[in-house]
Amino acid sequence: MAKTSLDIKPLAGALGAEILGVDLAAGLSDHVYDEIHQAFLDHLVIFFRDQTLNPAQFTEVAKHFGTPGAYPFIESIEGHPEVIEILKTEDDTIYFGCHWHTDTTYMEKPSLGTMLYALETPESGGDTLFANMYKAYEALSGGMKNMLDGLHAVNSSEQKDLGGRAQKMAELNALKDTYVEESEPLEAVHPVVRTHPETKKKSLYVNGSHTVNFAGMSEAESKPILQHLFEHMKKPEFQCRFRWAPGSIAFWDNRCTQHLAINDYNGQRRRMHRITLEGDRPV
């Protein structure tokens, strides 16, 4: 791990670290942003506390790490095309992102990473779990690695195993009038084992929300192996858990992590701003 002047506190053994004493609105030097980027690569997901950012400032912070891009199913907030709002009100019971997934794997160029900024949080509940897909790959047997290396998989936005379009639209409807329905599900084929473009490490790159089948195989043939992988990825030793508070920011690497928003706070309000960074084609 590279030497750093930042105050970094690892959150768990598998992944995740809080970066303390940084005011992202203060205008940090390129050197400090380089150190934050290295911490992002080292820990896969990084967290900041007690931030105060308007949408323009949030966007400027994100630009230090990549190119903010549009999310395909949710309208951006007015005047800020890179920022979307994720809201669960006191009356909502279904929540967006409440299944293990990697963001936008149904796109030809899935997102590099995602930044999520908490504006309102429940008194209790609403944590997010993250999982390290480097470790998930490394823990596989040699025989499983040999079988998976070189395979590709079909990824769809329809969430077939989670209830298909009906489930997807129920989650998007929970965001009120901000969702945009696609005419056809988005699909893309990606390697089952992905090599990270910066660290050069291998990780598992299938997920239970979007991966449908192995390319060249039927869904029935693919399902037993995929279900085994989906369960394997959720092992506690691959995970960290983050407790939100207003002003918290999480920034995760979609190329080597999965995450799950825990929906355990019905009757309470949770409001976030989110920016997704454009990525490249997985290899």
Buried b (16+ CB within 10 A) or exposed e, 144-157: eeeebeebbbbbbb
From the candidates 196, 210, 255, 259, which is the catalytic residue?
259
d(CA 186, CA 145): 28
Q: Is the Cα dihedral 250, 197, 13, 142 positive or negative? A: positive
Is residue 31 annotated as a catalytic residue, yes or no?
A: no
Among candidates 41, 229, 214, 212, which has minimal Cα distance to 145?
A: 229
Is residue 194 annotated as a catalytic residue, yes or no?
A: no
From the candidates 103, 190, 194, 255, which is the catalytic residue?
103
From the candidates 43, 92, 99, 101, which is the catalytic residue?
101
The 3-class secondary structure across the chain, one letter per residue, is CCCCCCEEEECCCCCCEEEECCCHHHCCCHHHHHHHHHHHHHHCEEEECCCCCCHHHHHHHHHCCCCEECCCCECEECCEEEEEEEEECCCCCCCCCCCCECCCCCCCCCCCEEEEEEEECCCCCCCEEEEEHHHHHHCCCHHHHHHHCCCEEEEECCCHHHCHHHHHHHHHHCCHHHECCCCCCCEEEEECEEECCCCCCEEECCCCCCEEEECCCCHHHHHHHHHHHHHHHCCHHHEEEECCCCCCEEEEECCCEEEEECCCCCCCCEEEEEEEECCCCCC
Is residue 259 annotated as a catalytic residue, yes or no?
A: yes
Is residue 161 annotated as a catalytic residue, yes or no?
A: no
Catalytic residues: 101, 103, 259, 274
